[in-house]
Structure 1
Amino acid sequence: MSIMGAISGLLASNEHMDTISNNIANASTIGYKSSKPVFFDMFSCSRESNSINGNGVGVSNIIQNFNNGMLVETGRDLDLGIVQDGFFRIVDAKGNVHYTRNGQFSLDKNKNIITMEGMYLTGKNKSYPQNTSNNSYGLETLNLRHGNILQEKATSSITLTAVLNSNTNSINDKIDISDKNMPQPEDYRTYINIYNKNGEKEQINISFYKIKKNTWKVDVESNENSINDSFQIEFNSNGELISDANLKIKPKNAKYEDITLNLSNTIEQENSENGNEKFSQDGYPKGYLKTFEISQDGEIVGIYSNKQVQVIGQILLSKFINPEKLRPESGNAWSATEKSGTEIIGIPGDTGFGFLSKKTLETSNVDLNKELINMIVAQRNYQSNAQSFKIEDKIISTIINLI
């Protein structure tokens, strides 16, 4: 009977309207993905007849549109947007895994990174294996408490780049350069602060003396005499260092690490002024976490009071072969299903994964103009099916009255 087709049309139009209303209601929901119903036609036939009669319409599925929403800047450190593919992987208090595109995060009292609904963002704390096979990262709740303190590091390497004047006069041959008690003319001296195993700072002096053509003596000594070493370096006629560029300094005090002095970029140059040095060293005192930043590849980089920076965590993303089959849940999240496929985990920016945009959020991908047009269409469909129902009802009433 045509009345059944009208009823099915009313039900399908009503479900269409429900989907449209839900989309419009979530037009401002961060990371929301719009949905639409998939309709199918229904037919029936009987054993007594070869004719096939239309029986109306049904809704086979509600499909989700996972196109990216627009990114908007917020200026907030823990707001993250995903450019292109991927989901943030989150877990609830019971350990159940969920996925979201909503990058609004905050810190709880224990410094866990959590969603606004209180779910925990997962990844890898501190260092992570770059060459680990997929899904074996050992994911854990991201927590910044372990990065509160950066322990002191003793200096083990010094890099010094200097320019030495090849026209400098050599030391008088009568002076014994191995005699530390003999005053010697100083051609060039610089100093640098280093750190011992306790994070204590000490100044060391590095002096250069020209012994003969293309040959220099290097003295390294500290103010407290805990370091006192001498070396000899040689240059070729082009001013390039030809002797070992890495000088091994052996401190007398056990509080210090053995130190490598790298002079590989030091040159000898004619008519130049001694100096123009550039130096660096790898030691530092204890530091405390002041703030942190999140990079495009998901690294959480801590910035410390001792001016050091260090990776303290790694955000990892998840993706699926068929994300449209993820089960939507309250709280703007999804959970995996058998039809969505196996979860694939990776570093943001790697092949197949989107990268992170810091201090931004992904808005809903609902197009209000299209939804309002769809609403008018759904409304007209509903009214037309209702009219069909009324006419069929009048026909049935007329037939009953004739009996």
Structure 2
Amino acid sequence: MSFYTSLSGLQAAQTELSTVSHNLANVSTDGFKKSRTNFADVIASSIATDPTKLVGSGVVVKANQQQFTEGNLKTTGGALDLTVTGDGFFTVKTAGLNPTTAYTRNGGFKVDPATHNIVDAQGSALLGYPVDAKGNATATGAAGLSALNLAETSGTPVATGKVALGVNLYAAASVPSATFSPTNAASYNSTTTSTIYDSSGKASTLTNYYVKTADNAWTVHSFAGDKELTVGGSTAGTPVTFGSDGKLTAPTAAIAYDAFMPGTGGVSQTLTVNLAGSTQASTAFAVNTRSVDGSSVGMLSGVSVDTQGIVSANYSNGDTVALGKVALANFADPTGLRQMGNSYWSASGVSGQATLGAANENGFGSMLSGTLEGSNVDITEELVNLIAAQRNFQANAKALDTASQISQTIIQIQG
């Protein structure tokens, strides 16, 4: 019987050695949680057995219990490197032919260039809840979960139709002797540039050239890109005059240019330029006022995640859009979660089903952006455990060897 007692001790020690080795192997694995091997003694008895004469029959592994203490935090600066400080797991949908819901503490995420979903290193999509303009979740529970997606663009394009441009023209400027040409700087006195948009939101440049023709008299030529805009089919330019007080006397209304096809594409558009507010003075040329309508489509330029888990995208047109709230999961008994590898866990009958929520809600921790949670393995502690497990293995091996020698001695006596 002592053979099996010692054998159970060897097997138990081997299991502990394997557990410690697994912990040490994952000392640098983000989101990894160490395990501890728990043992229980084996006693074979009946109601007729004298309890003072019981002899144990060895040991069994009761559980390899996961330890969900928080790992060390590492600052990375990445907006999508996330950490849950406190209770909770990120919820992801695994990639592949048979996607499943998994849970992880490894918050190293990035944007998938093909789908624009927020994914982890394995391509699993981070799940969350849609939000309204104020960042309030508009869905709850497992049915409300969806992949957090960063839209590539934001806003609706609007073609520019009106430009208001008040300038100050230098009264003492000389009249150019050369015939006007946008390629000859000697043929005009001053110029302004403004950004305008076509119907698809693509930007181009509106350039106005100001040519002095006489005292208090000027001509303005307008170009959209490299195409000169016309009035009534004429490219002669629009006369601009001032009174002796330097105030604008003509044109009295906005200049209405003929429809034109933008060089950037889109459809034909019309444009008006209002010079109201323009002056002529003895001071240098300057732009007094400028306003341009129309808008472009904003391109994704950045992303941020706040402590509530709200994911916001920044766009080149100045829009900041809340796209969703990161979903967190918690369990009645996290130590009962089933390990799947890749720092993933799945729910089991022991852990219970996931309770879903978000950061800073009851039962869930807060969220940090720009940090990652490392492994909670303490190398020094594990090395001590490794030595202890090795000694246990050696002691049980010695007990087994001793039992073998005793048996051999008995056989020799009987022989």
The answer to whether the superposition gives a TM-score over 0.5 is: yes
Amino acid at match of 2:12: A
Q: Does 1:117 align with 2:122?
A: yes
After TM superposition, where is structure 1 displaced by more than 6 Å over at least 4 residues in a row? none
Contact 1:90 1:99 in 2 (8 A): yes
Q: Would the alpha carbon gap of residues 151 and 354 (structure 1) be closer, same or farther in structure 2, given more than 3 Å must change?
A: farther
Q: Does 2:315 align with 1:311?
A: no
- TM-score, normalisation: structure 2: 0.63
Post-superposition shift, 1:10? 0.5
Whichever residue aligns with residue 59 of structure 1, its letter is V
Distance 1:126 1:150, change over 3 A: farther
Quick check: 1:138 aligned with 2:144? yes
Q: Indicate the residue corresponding to 1:332 in structure 2.
A: 343
**Aligned equivalents of 2:86, 2:339: Cα separation in 1:** 19
| One-letter identity of the residue aligned with 2:121 | M
The CA distance in 2 between the partners of 1:366 and 1:136, in whole Å, is 32
Distance 1:345 1:377 in 2: 40
Contact kept, 8 Å, 2:129 with 2:139, in 1: the verdict is no
- Report deviation, 1:152: 6.1
Counterpart code for 1:89: T
1:347 partnered with 2:358: yes
Query: 2: distance between equivalents of 1:134 and 1:290?
Result: 29
Letter in 1 for 2:144: G
Q: In the TM superposition, what are the counterparts of 1:32-47 in structure 2 within 5 Å?
A: 32-45=32-45
Separation in 2 of the partners of 1:3 and 1:359?
Answer: 56
Partner of 2:388: 377
In 1, distance between residues paired with 2:139 and 2:43?
50
Amino acid at match of 1:43: I
CA contact (8 A) 2:130 2:138 kept: no
Letter in 2 for 1:33: K
* Distance across 2 between alignment mates of 1:130 and 1:104: 25
Q: C-alpha displacement at 1:343, in angstroms? A: 0.9
- Alpha-carbon deviation of 1:96? 0.8
Residue in 2 aligned with 1:208? none
1:115-264 alignment runs, 5 A limit? 115-125=120-130, 127=132, 130=136, 135=141, 138-144=144-150, 146=151, 148-151=153-156
C-alpha separation between the residues in 2 aligned to 1:81 and 1:372? 28
Matched residue type, 1:107: V
1:289, CA displacement in angstroms? 2.0
In structure 2, relative to structure 1, the CA distance for the partners of 1:60 and 1:134 (3 Å cut) is farther
Contact in 1 for aligned 2:129/2:144 (Cα 8 Å) = yes
Query: Are residue 393 (structure 1) and residue 404 (structure 2) matched?
Result: yes
Alpha-carbon distance in structure 2 between the residues aligned to 1:101 and 1:348: 13
Equivalent pair of 2:149/2:323 in contact (CA under 8 Å) = no
> Within 1, Cα distance between the matches of 2:137 and 2:318?
30
Aligned-partner residue type, residue 113 of structure 1: I
**1:104–1:57 distance in 2 versus 1, CA, 3 Å:** same
Q: Distance in 2 between matches of 1:11 and 1:347?
A: 43
- 2:346 & 2:405 partners in 1: Cα distance? 49
Task: Name the structure 2 match of 1:86.
Answer: 88
* Percent of residue pairs identical: 36
Counterparts of 1:378 and 1:290 in 2: how far apart (Å)? 53
**Alignment-derived partner of residue 174 in structure 1:** none
CA RMSD of aligned residues (A): 2.8
SS of match in other structure, 2:56: strand
1:284 to partner: Cα distance: 7.0
Q: Does 1:105 align with 2:105?
A: no
Give per-residue Cα distances to partners, 1:125-184, cap 9 Å, x unaligned: 45398476852561011221x35222369xxxxxxxxxxxxxxxxxxxxxxxxxxxxxxx
- The 1:198/1:47 distance shift into structure 2, 3 A limit, reads closer
Q: Distance in 1 between matches of 2:349 and 2:140?
A: 19
Q: Distance in 1 between matches of 2:125 and 2:389?
A: 40
Q: Relative to 1, partners in 2 of residues 1:137 and 1:309: Cα closer, same or farther, differing over 3 Å?
A: farther
The runs of 5 or more residues in structure 1 that have no matched partner are: 154-196, 200-222, 225-282
User: Aligned equivalents of 2:313 and 2:295: distance in 1?
Assistant: 15
Corresponding residue for residue 205 of structure 2: none
CA distance in 1, matches of 2:140, 2:319: 32
Aligned length: 282
Native 8 Å contact 2:154 2:299 kept in 1: yes
Is the partner of 1:389 in helix, strand or coil?
helix
Structure exhibiting the larger radius of gyration computed from Cα positions: 2
The letter of the residue matching 2:141 is: N
CA distance in structure 2 between the partners assigned to 1:312 and 1:47 by the alignment: 67
| Inter-CA distance 136–384: structure 2 relative to 1 (3 Å threshold) | closer
Q: How far is 1:401 from its partner?
A: 0.9
TM-score scaled to structure 1, two decimals?
0.64
User: Are the aligned partners of 1:134 and 1:344 in contact in 2 as well (CA < 8 Å)?
Assistant: no
Report the secondary structure of 2:57's partner residue. Answer: strand
Q: 1:99 to 1:151 in 2, by over 3 A?
A: same
- 1:45 aligned counterpart, secondary structure: coil
CA distance in 2, matches of 1:53, 1:312: 65
Stretches of structure 2 lacking an aligned partner (at least 5 in a row): 159-198, 202-252, 255-293
Aligned to 1:162: none
Matched position secondary structure for 1:375: helix
Contact 1:150 1:288 survives alignment (8 Å): no
Task: Quote the residue 2:70 is aligned against.
Answer: 68
| Offset, 1:308 | 2.4
State whether residues 105 and 114 of structure 1, in contact with CA within 8 Å, keep that contact through their aligned partners in structure 2: yes
Contact 2:90 2:107 in 1 (8 A): yes
The 8 Å contact of residues 124 and 137 in structure 1, kept in 2 or not, is answered as no
| Structure 2 CA distance for partners of 1:67 and 1:125, relative to 1, 3 Å | same
Deviation at 1:313, TM superposition (A): 2.2
